[in-house]
Structure 1
Amino acid sequence: MRLNIVPARTGMQWVREGIRVFFRMPLAFAGLFFMFLAATVVLSIIPVVGDALALMMIPAATVGLMAATRQALDGRFPMPATLLAAFRQSPRQTRAMLALGALYAAALLLIMILSASLDDGQLARLVEKHGGRLTPDLMADPALQQAAQASMRQMLVGSLLYVPVAVLMWHAPALVHWHGLPVGKSLFFSAVAVLRNTTAYLVYGLGWAAVASVGWGALLIVAAVLGNIGLALSGLLPLSVLVASMFYASLWFTFRDSFAADEPAPVESIDHG
């Protein structure tokens, strides 16, 4: 295995390829992503450990969605069992995948705890006080601005803390699954691949932000033309699932282009004469 250095424009290519492969089999990808969401919701219901278990399964589910992209590229319809692809390798790789999941869950729970300390829940209490709606009285409440600022600080700090986790984990599950790397090496090579191709990944992130913005903007325009704001609210979840499904369909391309299998060494001829 060797690292590839790609130009910045490759980031937008990954976005386009993700969208194209999604629309080859939209029902398959949307269905797999919805099943992934449903599984995390069910796991999160389990008392005490539910949230940790749901987070722990994300790296393995990511591998399953990447495997679905590979199958779609080969003209095969990804079946629900594809989501379990990460657990169909050797026992050693399965243990490594579970270890990655445990590390990911621990990191995210720690980030949640740290960022939650910046917000005492004032914004949620204010909204609840006004019946859970943005009423005129709520908008006029002087405490709203302070609560909103605290909430924004919480989200900003949480996002910044998540960046190094994302860099370490971006390719780690795929490296365990397809290259058989141990946990430590998979995290290391994932970070190296992302950092060496920072501009491509920035363009990739901006590309998906643009796709989401265009989709949400179009939804708001349609709702405004029809004079039905409820349409925008009701369409927000399906649109978010659509964009997220296309995003996960594109992950395989980021991995494929960031790494390449080593070419076999040439066979040396031996002169016996």
Structure 2
Amino acid sequence: MQAATLPFRSGWLWIQEGGRIFRRQPLAMFFWGLLTSLLITVASVIPILGQMALIAATPVLTFITLCACRHISQGRQMLPGMWFEPLRDKSVRRRLFRLGLAYLACCMLAGFIATLPFLDQLSAAVGDGNNIDPSALFDAMLRPLITFAVLYVLISALFWHAPALTGWHGIKLVQALFYSMVACWRNKWPFLLYGLSWGAIFMAVQFSGDMLMSIGLPAGLVQLVMVPVNIVVVAVLYCSFYPTYMSVFGVNYATLQGEQEIEAGD
């Protein structure tokens, strides 16, 4: 697989293209954003096992999202029975299952690597659990969190394109991880813009909610308004996964750029 190298502004074009995909079938993608948000909520309630199951299922959920976005981009109406259609192939399920286990193993390994060197400091900050100093606990957790964040960036690069490479092209696990890492490295600057842009978008949404509360609106009403807004933002985020793959491994960047310009002209 030959990965294209794209210019810096591609990171923002991916988000624009994700918005265009969402606008084509907003109800379908809103439903998917709501469903995945509920799965995350349920997983967070179940200690350890819930989070592990969610991490292992991430490649499957990503592949379903990519397939839905491909259908939408090709002008097909997403019907309820189409969502899990990509998993009917036994070989696809097996490859994605292995990918999920590899993702879980990498995340757990990163957690151990980030935590073990600082275990003494964490234990001292927690103490007997009765009189915990929040500032001391924050200082003790800061370096493990930074270490894990750096490691997770590397893990994300390994697995970013892997669901599509294994699911659509049947590429073996190790090869898919290698191709994904190379593609992300070649497009590190667009991905930097992509990540920073999404960080700014989520911060802006949070700031909007805080502003509504600051002008005197009840917290319950603000939450009622912000929940669907957050789901829409998450759904657009999911939609943007598809152009990050297609512009690198599938559709030429010039094609993606041309679609953006044509739509802007309309």
Distance in 2 of aligned mates of 1:42 and 1:108: 20
Distance 1:82 1:105, change over 3 A: farther
Q: Structure 2: 5+ residue runs without aligned partners?
A: 252-266
Distance in 2 of aligned mates of 1:27 and 1:244: 13
**Match among 201, 205, 210 for residue 191 of structure 2:** 201
Distance in 1 of aligned mates of 2:163 and 2:53: 16
SS in 2 for 1:146: helix
Q: How far is 1:167 from its partner? A: 0.5
Larger RCO (CA within 8 A; separation ≥ 6): 2
Q: Which residue of 1 aligns with 2:22?
A: 22
SS in 2 for 1:2: coil
Q: Which residue of 2 aligns with 1:180?
A: 170
| Aligned partners of 2:95 and 2:167 also within 8 Å | no
Distance 1:145 1:227, change over 3 A: farther
Q: How far is 1:36 from its partner? A: 2.8
Deviations 1:184-213, CA, capped at 9 Å, x for gaps: 111110001000111111111111112112
Q: How far is 1:53 from its partner? A: 2.7
Distance in 1 of aligned mates of 2:152 and 2:244: 19
Q: Structure 1: 5+ residue runs without aligned partners?
A: 130-140, 262-273
Q: Which residue of 2 aligns with 1:156?
A: 146
Q: Which residue of 2 aligns with 1:250?
A: 240
Distance in 2 of aligned mates of 1:32 and 1:17: 18
Distance in 2 of aligned mates of 1:194 and 1:205: 12
Q: How far is 1:243 from its partner? A: 2.1
Distance in 1 of aligned mates of 2:143 and 2:223: 25
The residue type equivalent to 2:240 in the other structure is S
The residue type equivalent to 2:56 in the other structure is M
4+ runs deviating over 6 angstroms? 43-48
Matches within 5 A, 1:100-119: 100-117=99-116, 118=118, 119=122
Aligned residue-pair number = 246
> What percentage of residue pairs aligned between the two structures are identical?
28
Deviations 1:25-46, CA, capped at 9 Å, x for gaps: 2221121133234345556777
TM-score, normalization: structure 1? 0.77
Distance 1:238 1:156, change over 3 A: farther
Matches within 5 A, 1:1-273: 1-39=1-39, 49-89=49-89, 91-117=90-116, 118=118, 119-120=122-123, 122=126, 143-226=133-216, 228-229=218-219, 237-260=227-250
Distance 1:86 1:110, change over 3 A: farther
Distance in 1 of aligned mates of 2:52 and 2:80: 23
TM-score, normalization: structure 2? 0.79
Q: How far is 1:115 from its partner? A: 4.0
Distance in 1 of aligned mates of 2:41 and 2:84: 17
| Aligned partners of 2:33 and 2:232 also within 8 Å | no
Higher share of residues assigned helix: 2
| Aligned partners of 1:32 and 1:83 also within 8 Å | no
SS in 2 for 1:226: coil
Root-mean-square deviation (Å)? 3.1
SS in 1 for 2:137: helix
Q: Which residue of 2 aligns with 1:137?
A: none
The residue type equivalent to 2:18 in the other structure is G
Distance 1:56 1:32, change over 3 A: same
SS in 2 for 1:106: helix
Distance in 2 of aligned mates of 1:257 and 1:158: 29
Q: How far is 1:82 from its partner? A: 4.3
Q: How far is 1:149 from its partner? A: 2.5
Distance in 1 of aligned mates of 2:212 and 2:45: 36
SS in 2 for 1:216: helix
Distance in 2 of aligned mates of 1:160 and 1:105: 17
Q: How far is 1:214 from its partner? A: 1.7
Deviations 1:41-69, CA, capped at 9 Å, x for gaps: 55677798544332211101101011111
Distance 1:233 1:150, change over 3 A: farther
Tell me whether 166-175 or 14-23 shows the greater mean CA deviation.
Answer: 14-23
